[in-house]
Amino acid sequence: MVGDIPLKTTTDFLSMPPTILPNLSILIVDDERLIQNLVYGVLSSLGFTNITVASSGRKALDKISTNKFDFIITDWRMDDLDGIDVVQHIRKSQKPPLCNTPIIMLTGNSEAHHVKTAISAGVNGYLIKPFSAEQLVKRIRTVIEEPRDFVMSRNFTGPDRRHVNQPPPEGTERRKLHRNK
């Protein structure tokens, strides 16, 4: 589900009715004008019309505090407040719909430990720069069409980090699972 719109895994994102896309509110967070323009252009070409750009992590938090966004695409490395801090702020709010907002991390950090850090912070998707418009579209489609279950616990709020549904280890606190419909 994105915003108030239930999407099934069989939904063809590119052929969604044009009346649906303008209703989704997207926040782009990046301090590089080139990336802002690339992401904005891709989203516009997909039919999104309600797109907001924040040029820093702090500006993103200001916009989040006064607006509701259905989807966030953020850079990792920014001068004032990095993307991981933005993601953690959103997830730690534990106030739906904010804490449930799908988030894609854009970054030049390609090492495995960076990917794990972003996933542990609560991102729904991870895309390494430089990227193509096709890769961005694919990642957006994956996050929307194949949502992972959402987990809320004392230590973590975000999409389920496991790719295989297994019970928690013996003696581990059971997490509260919120199924995406």
User: Which domain CATH number covers 63?
Assistant: 3.40.50.2300
Residue 104 falls inside a structural domain: yes
Give a yes or no: residue 1 inside a domain.
no
The pLDDT assigned to 8 comes to 38
Mean pLDDT of the residues in the chain: 81
Total domain count, the chain: 1
Q: What's the rounded Cα separation, in Å, for the pair 92 and 87?
A: 8
Q: Are 13 and 20 in contact (CB under 8 A)?
A: no
Which residues, 6 or more positions from 107, have their beta carbon under 8 angstroms from its beta carbon? 75, 76, 77, 83, 114, 118, 126, 127, 128, 129
pLDDT of the residue at 64: 95
Number of H helices, E strands in the chain: 5, 8
Q: How confident is the model at residue 21 (pLDDT cuts 50, 70, 90)?
A: low
- What does DSSP assign to residue 72? E
pLDDT tens for 63-117 read 999 999 989 999 999 989 999 999 999 998 877 788 889 999 999 999 999 999 9
Asked whether residue 6 is domain-assigned, the answer is no
Q: Residues 6 or more apart from 24 whose CB is under 8 A from it?
A: 2, 3, 5, 48, 50, 70, 71
Residue 9 has pLDDT above 50, yes or no: no
Say if residues 50 and 68 touch (Cβ distance below 8 Å).
Answer: no
In a domain, 129, yes or no: yes
The verdict on residue 3 lying in a domain is no
Pairing of strands 150-152, 176-178: antiparallel
33 lies in which domain range?
A: 13-162+169-178
- Whole-model pTM: value is 0.78
pLDDT tens figures, 114-152: 999 999 999 999 999 888 888 888 888 888 888 888 888
Q: Note if the bond before 97 is cis, omega within 30 degrees.
A: yes
2 within some domain: no
Amino acid (one-letter) located at 84 = I
Tell me, yes or no, whether 4 lies in a domain.
no
> For residue 2, is pLDDT > 70?
no
